[in-house]
Amino acid sequence: MKIEVSLYASLASRLPEGCKGNTCTLIVAEGTTIGALLDHLAIAADEPKIVFLNGIHARPDDPLKEGDRVGVFPPIAGG
């Protein structure tokens, strides 16, 4: 199934080769979870990040479905 992944700021370089900009359409297996997707993108479980699924905060065990939009950000909190 197809999903759309956007990686922001310092995480953008983790998108697979061939992707343009910070957003890419990926094909993943049915039943893939957010956590499995992050593993695939080499974003470690203990790496500080915020993950959104269709604009709402997501958990590692949230399952993905066709057409989902995933966004991953580094937490930028300095002042």
Partner 1 sequence: MAPDIPRYSRHELLRWIGPEGQQRIRRSRVFVAGVGALGCLVSTLLARAGIAFLRIADFDYPEIHNLHRQILYDEEDVGAGLSKPEVAAKRLRAANSEVQIEAVTTAVGADTIEALTDGVDLVVDALDNIRSRYYVNDAILARGIPYVFGGAVEAAGNVMTIIPGKTPCLRCLWPDTEVVGNHPTAARVGVLSSVAMAVAAVEVTEALKILVGREQDTIQGLLVMDFWRNTFQTAAVQQDPKCICRTITR
Closest CA to 75 of 41, 48, 37, 36: 48
By beta-carbon proximity to partner 1, the closer residue of 18 and 75 is: 75
* DSSP string for the chain: -EEEEEE-GGGGGGSPTT--TTEEEEE--TT-BHHHHHHHTT--TTS--EEEETTEE--TTPBP-TT-EEEEE------
Please report how close the Cβ of residue 29 comes to partner 1 at its closest, in angstroms.
Answer: 25
Which one, 28 or 58, has the nearer CB to partner 1?
A: 58
Cβ proximity to partner 1: between 29 and 56 the closer is 56
Contact residues for partner 1 (CB under 8 A)?
Answer: 6, 8-10, 12, 21-22, 48-50, 52, 54-57, 69, 71, 73-79
Q: Minimal distance in Å, beta carbon 16 to partner 1?
A: 17
